[in-house]
Amino acid sequence: MSSEYVQRRLTAVLAADVAGYSRLMGRDEEGTLGQLKTLRKTLVDPVIAAHRGRIVKTTGDGMLVEFASAVDAARCAVEVQRGMAAQNADVPQDSRIEFRIGIHVGDIIVDDDDIFGDGVNIAARLEGIAEPGGICISDDAQRQIRGKVDIAFDDMGPQHLKNIAEPMRAGRVRLDGDAASRTTVKPAEAQPLSLPGKPSVAVLPFQNMSGDPEQEHFCDGLVEDIITTLSKLAGLRVIARNSTFVYKGRPVDVREAAKQLGVRYILEGSVRRSGNRIRVTAQLIDAQDGAHLWAERYDRAMDDIFAIQDEITLVLATEMQVKLTEGEQARLQYTTTTNVEAWSCWVQGMSHHRKAITREDSGQARFFWEKALALDPMSAALNAKLGFLHCLDARFGWWDDREVAIDKARSYSDKALEIDPGNADAYTVSSLVLQFQRLHDDAVAAARKAVKLAPGAADTAELASHVLAASGYPNDAVELSERAMTLSPNYPAVYLGTLGNAYRLSGRPEQAIAAFQAYHARNPGFGLTDLVIIYQQTDQPEKARRTAEQLLAARPNFTIAAWLTTQFSRRDVAQVEADTVALRAAGLPPG
């Protein structure tokens, strides 16, 4: 037995490397190396020093850092990744230098200036499963910083790390603006976004001053219609409802909200409804200096609600100096329906539609929208939205046989376009129907038309991305998904699935893995099928097998046959067959 003394200590270890380093070096060796050195000198090393970290050693694309405190390690990692996100804001996705970071607290062996042991190995393995631009942290480290650092985590569950005997529970740090994980964070925790080059506005939820909870639908519907109308203006960036409604029911610092959403202007207001009378107040604020640019109070009969909307949107465009084309001036007067009772049914249906894509909520939305359409059969918007519900039915099999559902969706979209040839939602539904019918070129044309008619609508861009990826245009699909995420910084989790699919089909597996991992983090079980396929097709069979086990644990009824029923509208049949082979190879049940 050796009598030589072995120095040990408990420490926080941070391991980092550059995602896709070999690919970047292959494209531009000297440029990549120079860029990495500059980032180290100007950002990474100073941040490490500021948080009292010691750089133990560096490799060509990575480093090992020791901290006396897990709190310091976590704060350092977050500051580095947020700084990198800011540096990469205007850099094309495939040219970005993005770090992956792993953090663990454990016992290490000290030998001269180097460190060894499981504490180091686990941090390195956690770094290996982090997304580009992300931070993966062990459960041991989380316990040390919980309650001491204002950081949120997504639980990744037990992770099987290479050469580590027992599974290690890990978490993913939430980073707003993180191009890889893009997990939603609370507005107060988010990093400010840079202002775009054109006017930008966020319409916050209006306050219900009626004292009647039933009037919440009314308030929300008014805001929804204002956002929908403004999203048709190419010269304006308007933040999607999904992002602004995270502020609903909470006190809001207007300047802070504007920073988090990346806009210059904020519209806020209130609604009081009593019988057939309505009072709407609205004010437009320049968040740069807090100045009130415009404020108005409308005391009107309920029948005037649509005129109020038109006036508000026109005033907003004028005050923000948005340059309007002749067609856009006409679209500023767009309303969902001119029937007040139908509009009330519309907003009630929308409250269910916004909850989740499920049979139950979609069924409730359908009930209210069919009532609304019976009251106003000539509403293009109502026809289009009902068509969209039947598209969902065609994919998920809620109510009718697929062909029946497709026929209903097509009938509604055709009617909507007949009523209003400039309705973006109608073109979106038409694109989905054409995709289902495997008329892919026509589907792409309709999706592009929808985006042109509503250039500021996040959901329109996201659905167009879905159509283009499935129809053979994955690179264009990536651009549309990224546009949707810009328009909705607090976007729904499904956006990550659409982006991941576009990345995968465009031959960018690393970015696809990051997107699908983030999708799973926000919606456990979703994105795992795609991860199995990617791992299997990139010669990582062990990861594919373990992810398949994770998928079956989350969704015990999963079968390849059931999955195939959702892939019926993809253009590349050979790719679908290859994906099926990958799922079988990973051990998933055939049917």
Tens digits of residue pLDDT in 349-361: 888 888 777 889 8
Are the CB atoms for 381 and 337 separated by under 8 Å? yes
Residue 449 pLDDT class (50, 70, 90 cuts): very high
d(CA 221, CA 226) in angstroms, rounded, equals 9
Tens digits of residue pLDDT in 60-89: 788 999 998 889 899 999 989 888 887 777
Long-range contacts of 252-257 (CB under 8 A, 24+ apart): 252/204, 254/285, 254/287, 254/290, 255/287, 255/290, 256/187, 256/188, 257/187, 257/202, 257/204, 257/287
Q: What is the mean pLDDT of residues 562-577?
A: 91
Residue 94 pLDDT class (50, 70, 90 cuts): confident
Are the CB atoms for 464 and 443 separated by under 8 Å? no
Which pLDDT does position 501 carry in this prediction? 94
195: pLDDT strictly greater than 60: no
212: pLDDT strictly greater than 50: yes
Q: Which domains are delineated in the chain?
A: 7-181 (3.30.70.1230), 194-331 (3.40.50.10610), 339-454 (1.25.40.10)
Residue 563 pLDDT class (50, 70, 90 cuts): very high
Residue 245 pLDDT class (50, 70, 90 cuts): confident
Tens digits of residue pLDDT in 115-129: 888 888 899 889 988
Burial class (CB in 10 A: 0-12, 13-18, 19+), 459: buried
Pick 438 or 25 by higher pLDDT. Answer: 438
559: pLDDT strictly greater than 80: yes
Are the CB atoms for 172 and 185 separated by under 8 Å? no
**Percent of the chain clearing pLDDT 90 (strictly above):** 35
52: pLDDT strictly greater than 70: yes
Most confident of the ranges 9-13, 159-163, 386-390, 544-548: 386-390
d(CA 473, CA 451) in angstroms, rounded, equals 15
Most confident of the ranges 132-141, 299-308, 465-474: 465-474
Record the tokens describing residue 420, joined without a space.
């209003």
Most confident of the ranges 16-30, 81-95, 549-563: 549-563
Number of Cβ within 10 Å of residue 405's Cβ equals 23
Span of 82-86, 495-499, 500-504 with lowest mean pLDDT:
82-86
Tens digits of residue pLDDT in 172-193: 888 753 333 333 323 333 344 4
Region class of 51: left (phi > 0), else alpha (psi between -120 and 50), else beta: alpha
| Mean of pLDDT over the chain | 85
Span of 52-61, 312-321, 396-405 with lowest mean pLDDT:
312-321
Using alpha carbons, select from 531, 536, 504, 534 the residue that is nearest to residue 517. Answer: 531
Number of Cβ within 10 Å of residue 485's Cβ equals 22
Are the CB atoms for 139 and 175 separated by under 8 Å? no
291 phi, psi to nearest 5 deg: -70, 140
Which pLDDT does position 325 carry in this prediction? 60
Which pLDDT does position 1 carry in this prediction? 44
pTM: 0.64
Tens digits of residue pLDDT in 394-419: 988 899 999 999 999 999 999 999 99
Span of 48-57, 390-399, 460-469 with lowest mean pLDDT:
48-57
Span of 25-29, 269-273, 430-434 with lowest mean pLDDT:
25-29
E strand or H helix that includes residue 494: helix 494-505
Beta-bridge mates of residue 110? 7, 115
Which pLDDT does position 540 carry in this prediction? 92
Which pLDDT does position 189 carry in this prediction? 36
Which pLDDT does position 182 carry in this prediction? 36
Which pLDDT does position 331 carry in this prediction? 57
Which pLDDT does position 90 carry in this prediction? 67
